[in-house]
Amino acid sequence: MKFFIDTAEIDEIRDLAATGLVDGVTTNPSLIAKSGRNFLDVVAEICDVVDGPVSAECVALDHETMLKEGRKLAEIADNIAVKVPLTPDGLKTCRVLAEGGTMVNVTLCFSAAQALLAAKAGATFISPFVGRLDDIGQDGLSLIAEICEIYANYDFPTEVLVASVRGPLHVAAAARMGAGVATLPPNVLRAMFKHPLTDKGLAAFLDDWAKTGQTIL
> C-beta of 113: minimal distance to ligand G3P in Å?
20
CB-count burial class (<10 Å; 0-12, 13-18, 19+) for 171: buried
CB atoms within 10 A of CB 12: 18
List phi, psi (to 5°) of 42. Answer: -70, -35
Rounded Cα distance between 126 and 32, Å, is 20
Active-site annotation holder among 68, 72, 83, 200: 83
Beta bridge partners of 126: 106, 160
Rounded Cα distance between 196 and 59, Å, is 43
Residues 24-53: x where in contact with ligand G3P by CB under 6 A, - otherwise, as a string = --x-x-------------------------
Residues 104-143: x where in contact with ligand G3P by CB under 6 A, - otherwise, as a string = -------------------------x-xx-----------
Using the minimum distance from each CB to ligand G3P, give the nearer residue, 13 or 163.
163
Size of the site for ligand G3P (CB under 6 A): 9
Using the minimum distance from each CB to ligand G3P, give the nearer residue, 50 or 163.
163
Residues 3-22: x where in contact with ligand G3P by CB under 6 A, - otherwise, as a string = ---x----------------
Q: Do residues 167 and 193 make contact, with C-beta atoms less than 8 angstroms apart?
A: no
Using the minimum distance from each CB to ligand G3P, give the nearer residue, 34 or 195.
34
Using the minimum distance from each CB to ligand G3P, give the nearer residue, 27 or 93.
27
- Which residues 171-190 are close enough to bind ligand G3P by CB under 6 A? 183
DSSP alpha helix (H) spans, the chain = 10-17, 29-35, 39-49, 63-74, 88-99, 112-120, 130-135, 140-154, 168-177, 186-193, 196-212
> C-beta of 199: minimal distance to ligand G3P in Å?
28
163 forms part of the interface with ligand G3P (CB under 6 A): yes
Rounded Cα distance between 153 and 156, Å, is 8
> C-beta of 24: minimal distance to ligand G3P in Å?
12
Question: Known catalytic residue: 83?
Answer: yes
Using the minimum distance from each CB to ligand G3P, give the nearer residue, 169 or 213.
169
Rounded Cα distance between 73 and 163, Å, is 21
Q: Could you list the active site residues?
A: 83
Contact residues for ligand G3P, defined by CB under 6 A? 6, 26, 28, 129, 131-132, 163-164, 183
